[in-house]
Amino acid sequence: MPETSGGAIIARMLEQEGVENCFGIVDGTYTQLFAHCVEQGIEMVSPRHEAIAAHMAGAYARLTPGVHPPCKIPPRFSPASR
């Protein structure tokens, strides 16, 4: 059985929920998630700062129908916190 990453599972879930865009910063923590989101056809929007990503996601959600999540993993769950 081939291994499946957490990023692949989350990307599939987002795609099944109809997510078309995801806002966040591409770094080592999110590489697999972002790569699999792109494979699923989800557009990744990566500004220079995570606060800007949250504001962009909020504005985009208010202006367009659909689900537009900011991609942020709480620090206690990120590999860097271990």
The closest alpha carbon to 50, from 16, 73, 33, belongs to 73
Mean pLDDT, each 10-residue run in order, the chain (82 residues): 82 88 80 88 86 84 73 49 42
Find out whether 7 and 36 touch, Cβ atoms under 8 Å. yes
The neighbour count for residue 43, using CB atoms within 10 Å, is: 12
Element (H, E) at 44: strand 43-45
pTM over 0.85: no
> 14-36, pLDDT tens digit by residue?
888 888 888 888 777 778 888 89
Residues 23, 57: contact at Cβ < 8 Å?
Answer: yes
Do residues 19 and 68 lie in contact, with contact meaning Cβ atoms separated by under 8 Å?
A: yes
Hey, what domains does the chain have and what are their CATH numbers? 6-72 (3.40.50.970)
pLDDT for position 82 = 42
